[in-house]
Amino acid sequence: MAIDPFELFDQWFAEARAREPNDPEAMALATADQDGRPSVRIVLLKGHGPEGFVFYTNQRSRKGEELAQNRSAALLFHWKSLRRQVRIEGSVSIVSCAEADAYFASRSRDSQLGAWASDQSRALDSRATFEQRFEEVKARFDGHDVPRPPTWGGYRVVPQRIEFWTARPHRLHERRLFTLQDGSWSEGLLYP
Ligand SMILES: Cc1cc2nc3c(=O)[nH]c(=O)nc-3n(C[C@H](O)[C@H](O)[C@H](O)COP(=O)(O)O)c2cc1C
C-alpha cells in the first residue's frame, strides 16, 4: 500500500478546505436504531486521525439515542467542487470528558449558550419558546464561564472501512477501498 488512508484523507481534506466554498467539514452521519431503521443528517467534523473521526452533538438527540442502541455508524463527505466523496464506516466511541470540555471551551459563547438552550430533536411548541429559553440561559450564566452541558459531548467514529471516490471522464470513476483486517489496513480497487 503506497499511502495509508489517513494520509490520503489529510490530503483530500486540506484540498477541500482550500477549494470548497461552503462547509468542507460537513459530513452526512448515518445511524440506525436497534431494529436497523436508518436515519441520516449533516454534522461537522471536529477532529480526525488514525484513532477516528470526531463530531459533537447533544447525546439525547435522535442520533445520540440511536448510537446508544447501535454503535455502528457511517460518514459521508461529498466535496462537490472537487468531484470527490469519502465513505467511512465503523463503530463509535464516546470522546473523553477532558477532550469534550476542551472543544466546548473553544466555541463561541453564543454556541455554548445554544447548547444549553436546545433540547435537540425534541418537539417545540414555537420558535418563541426556544428564544425565551436562550434568554433564560444567557441570564443564568451572566458573568460566568459557560460549562459544558452534561448531555452534550463528542463521538469518535472508529473506521473499519474507508472508500475514496474520484470522478473520472466517461463515468470510469475511481474507487479506492481501504479495509481494516487483523489490525492492518489493506487497499483494493472497486469497479465504479
Ligand atoms: C452544515 C450543517 C452542520 C451541522 N453540524 C452539526 C453538528 O456538528 N452537530 C449537531 O449536533 N448537529 C449539526 N447540524 C444539525 C443536524 O443536521 C441535525 O439537524 C441535528 O443534529 C439533529 O439531528 P438528529 O435529530 O438526527 O439527532 C448541522 C446541520 C448542518 C446543515
At 15, which amino acid appears? E
- The helix or strand, by DSSP H or E, that contains position 41, with its residue range, turns out to be strand 38-44
User: What percent of the chain stands above pLDDT 90?
Assistant: 90
β-sheet bridge partners, residue 41: 29
pLDDT at 1: 52
Which of 22, 27, 42 most suits a substitution to test ligand 1, by most atoms within 8 Å of the C-beta?
Answer: 42
DSSP class of residue 61?
Answer: S
Checking if the pLDDT of 2 tops 90, the result is no
The CB density around residue 37, as the number of other CB atoms within 10 Å, is 10
β-sheet bridge partners, residue 177: 163, 188
Cβ atoms of 145 and 104 within 8 Å: the answer is no
Provide the mean pLDDT of the chain: 95
Cβ atoms of 119 and 60 within 8 Å: the answer is yes
pLDDT at 32: 98
Residues annotated as catalytic (active site), given as ranges:
171
Tell me the average pLDDT across 144-159.
Answer: 97
pTM: 0.96
Which of 31, 33, 41 most suits a substitution to test ligand 1, by most atoms within 8 Å of the C-beta?
Answer: 41
| 23 CA from centroid of ligand 1 (Å) | 13
pLDDT at 172: 85
CA distance 185 to 39: 28
